[in-house]
Copies of this chain bind each other. A is one copy, B any other.
Amino acid sequence: MNKTDINNMISRDGFPNSERIYIKGKMEGVNVAMRQIKLSPTRNSDDTLEENAPLTVYDTSGPFTDPNIKIDLNKGIDKIRQPWIESRKNEIIQTQMYFAKRGIITPEMEYVAIRENQGLSEEQLQKGEKLVTPEFVRDEVASGRAIIPANIKHPESEPMIIGKNFLTKINANIGNSPVDSSIEKEVDKSVWAFRWGADTIMDLSTGDNIHQTREWILRNSPVPVGTVPLYQALEKTKGKSEDLSWEVFRETLIEQAEQGVDYFTIHAGLLWRHIRHTINRTTGIVSRGGAIMAKWCMYHHQESFLYTHFDEICDILAQYDIAISLGDALRPGSIADANDRAQFAELETLGELCQRAWDKNVQVMIEGPGHVPMHKIKENMELQEKLCHNAPFYTLGPITTDIAPGYDHITSAIGGAMIGWLGTAMLCYVTPKEHLGLPNKDDVKTGVITYKIAAHASDLAKGIVGAQVRDNAMSKARFEFRWKDQFCISLDPETAMKYHDETLPDEGSKQSHFCSMCGEHFCSMKASRDVRDMAAKKEKKRQEFIEAGGEVYN
């Protein structure tokens, strides 16, 4: 594929009735992108029209949905953070946590504060709600409760924050495998993933061209990019886990750090002595990184080099402000293995490593399961908070039953929504292909939308500021039969409209007071509006009666 082709391949379509707007901050260069959805007016019973204010929503799609910005994938997108990074280049340590601890509010912090507020004004808040301030962001980052993954070598990224007191974020895994895909397909998938709402992406490529695929993705990604460096290290040893070493791993870390990876999943919490707890499990070790390191420990009769060299790893990460995502190598891979000794033994080690990383000003999140039935989810969250000192939890689902391959986006959205509500800060998506094969572009979209649902359901339950504004706008549009607005407000306007139009495709049906589900006579919303009109008339008569001197009981 040549360079022109890939530029034509990726989606640059905007969203319907939407505009990418920018809200300026107080600090130099802070210009926060959001999506504003224009709504049509309400038609009252007396046929008068009433304006509906536009709805502003969080936007992860980057410059790709802004028609005013020219993009050439070969050059990469604008480096919006470059001036901020330049201005700090003489600091010994580069991390947001370092600045936060010293009381410094960075432009990145102001950016995320504005971004989290989604264009809400003070007046729109419900009682007791407060807008997010840059100082609040700083405090959360300083305490380790939240992270802003932002490698100084990835100036293209639009700052975002991961923490339990902010909107629940989602990650989309992309990346080729030795069996399938190509660089172009994976770049296309990444643009597609953040278009639909991925807050971060992880490039988990394991096949050929790992370095080049990652370079293309990073230079064109407005969202933070994570990786599992061990995968590339294993490519360097030609798939032989026993040939891995600290030296190969260190070299890989630096290679990826220089490219701009924003967070690394590192399975440093898997200790040699933990392995025996997995021997009688139903599904053993299901983390790829974990299985590789367990093999290494068993072969060499040695403690994992990820653990023994942990401080050196942190020193490298601090130079770039790469966050560490402490991988849960021993997460359960089946309902049978949930919350077992292996899993919680490792979690304890992750808590120890979390503190050590913080001591070196490295931002940390903790990865979580996996396969967990609903009644065991709460224990995961509570133990994680306790053992890992409130560092953000970043979970894969969890999947709540093993029996539905092909639908694991759903089995895991159930668990994801629940653990998000309980305090998890970021949910790693699961696609319909989980356990079966490499996801294609459709699967990526399904996974992202499903996880936006789980994350948003969490936000409503957590009571995150302004979370319900979009639901309210949708419900109002629904009750008023503003069909086009319903499509535009929804997470996936294309699909909503396509489904509606399957049975009622004509333009007139987008104005009509019913759909094909119930038809006209049986539309409850229509009948309900009639009831409301009848009640209003009755109330009017009652008022007239009172004004005429009548007396009313009730």
Contact = CB atoms under 8 A, between A and B. Distances in A.
A269 to B, nearest CB: 16
A499 B531 contact: no
Contact of A282 (B288, B373, B460, B479): B479
Given A433-B499, A437-B517, A471-B335, A489 B403 contact: yes
A413 B179 CA distance: 33
A475 interface: yes
A468 to B, nearest CB: 6
B490 A278 contact: no
Given A437-B499, A527-B241, A450 B522 contact: no
A246 interface: no
Looking at A231, A449, A489, A515, which has the most chain B CB atoms within 10 Å of its CB? A515
A535 B405 contact: no
Contact of A524 (B288, B405, B449): B288
Nearest to A486: B405
Interface string A415-459: 001100100000000001111111010000000011011101110
A511 to B, nearest CB: 15
Interface string A290-311: 1110110011000000000000
Interface in A372-421: 373-375, 400-407, 409-411, 413-414, 417-418, 421
Contact of A279 (B294, B452, B524, B535): B535
A257 to B, nearest CB: 22
A206 B486 contact: no
B288 A518 contact: yes
B453 A404 contact: yes
A499 B406 CA distance: 7
B282 A519 contact: no
A527 B234 CA distance: 13
Given A336-B471, A417-B414, A401 B528 contact: no
A207 interface: yes
Contacts of A504: 179, 437
Contacts of A375: 421, 460-463
A286 B522 CA distance: 10
Contacts of A532: 279, 284
Contacts of A460: 335, 373-375, 400-401
A239 interface: yes
Nearest to A373: B460
A532 B284 CA distance: 8
By secondary structure, the A interface counts as helix
Contacts of A206: 518-519, 521-522
Contacts of A180: 503, 516
A453 B531 contact: no
A433 B241 CA distance: 48
Given A374-B457, A457-B414, A531-B295, A283 B478 contact: yes
A362 B478 CA distance: 37
A299 B534 contact: yes
A285 B522 contact: no
A481 to B, nearest CB: 12
Contact of A475 (B402, B410, B463, B471): B402
Contact of A450 (B231, B407, B463): B407
A256 interface: no
A524 B291 contact: yes
Contacts of A513: none
A473 B206 CA distance: 30
A148 to B, nearest CB: 26
A475 B283 contact: yes
- The 4 A-B residue pairs with the shortest CB-CB distance, nearest first, are A284-B528, A291-B527, A334-B475, A239-B521
12 contacts: A179-B516, A283-B525, A284-B531, A288-B522, A291-B531, A335-B460, A404-B490, A405-B474, A433-B499, A436-B515, A438-B503, A440-B502
Given A278-B531, A336-B471, A400-B460, 6 more contacts: A177-B519, A241-B527, A295-B530, A401-B457, A433-B502, A436-B496
